[in-house]
Amino acid sequence: MSEAGAFSLRRVEAADAELLLRWRNAESNRPFMYNTAPIELATHMRWLAAELANPQSRHLVFQQGDEAIGYASLTDITVQHRRCSWGFNLADTPQPKGSGARMLFCVADYAFTELGLEKICSEVLSFNSASLRVHQRLGFASEGRRRRHIHRDDGVFDIELFALFADAWQTQRQALLSELLDG
């Protein structure tokens, strides 16, 4: 697992189910999901059990010391095309500035180094400024904008498409590591 200082990634276990659901349903996270409806426990348990057995997915908890402070998933892992998609959220308690960027540094490193993938794909609702900024900071390149792509009760929204490639990652990894995790 990726590890840097007090920060580490570990695989999600069945015992994390209720914690992850609480984070997913929190007011700090739900508005940034495609589906903003609170998820029911039974639905979540079925989804998590299937996902933990899915070889095309990795579900990860980001920790500072022993405290779980974020969650990220790598999904649609495709060996033939050497790519995956990702999704993430922080815990439902306030986290220090930079926590998202630190977590995603470790997750990108895991995808490229441990899984040997060459591309991470990402989709972000166009109003999600924090997520847009964190993708930019990690070196993601724009792959365009899908217009009026998501219909929700509160409106119709565009999404931004991003990609990060392993070769670009290698050229900036050390600088990002010093900036985000060595300080």
Ligand X SMILES: CC(C)(COP(=O)(O)OP(=O)(O)OC[C@H]1O[C@@H](n2cnc3c(N)ncnc32)[C@H](O)[C@@H]1OP(=O)(O)O)[C@@H](O)C(=O)NCCC(=O)NCCS
Segment (H or E) for 143: strand 141-152
- Whose structure tokens read 């931004």? 160
Which residue among 130, 141, 156, 175 contacts ligand X (CB under 6 A)? 130
* Token pair belonging to 3: 């590890």
Residue 96 contacts residue 62 (beta carbons within 8 Å): no
Q: Nearer Cβ to ligand X, position 73 or 117?
A: 73
Site string for ligand X, 141-180 (x = CB under 6 A): ----------------------------------------
CA distance 28 to 90: 9
Which residue among 134, 138, 166, 176 contacts ligand X (CB under 6 A)? 134
Q: Nearer Cβ to ligand X, position 36 or 116?
A: 36
CA distance 125 to 146: 10
Q: Nearer Cβ to ligand X, position 80 or 129?
A: 129
* Token pair belonging to 49: 């059990």
Per the rule left: phi > 0, alpha: psi between -120 and 50, beta: everything else, 151 is beta
CA distance 53 to 58: 9
Q: Nearer Cβ to ligand X, position 137 or 146?
A: 137
* Least distance CB 38 / ligand X (angstroms): 15
Is 23 one of the binding residues for ligand X (CB under 6 A)?
no
Residue (of 107, 138, 136) closest to 4 by Cα position: 107
Which residue among 39, 68, 98, 161 contacts ligand X (CB under 6 A)? 98
* Token pair belonging to 174: 């050390």
Is 129 one of the binding residues for ligand X (CB under 6 A)?
yes
Q: Which stretch binds ligand X (CB under 6 A): 55-63, 93-101, 140-148, 170-178?
A: 93-101
Which residue among 119, 128, 150, 173 contacts ligand X (CB under 6 A)? 128
Contacting positions for ligand X (CB under 6 A): 29, 32, 88-90, 95, 97-101, 124, 128-131, 133-134, 137
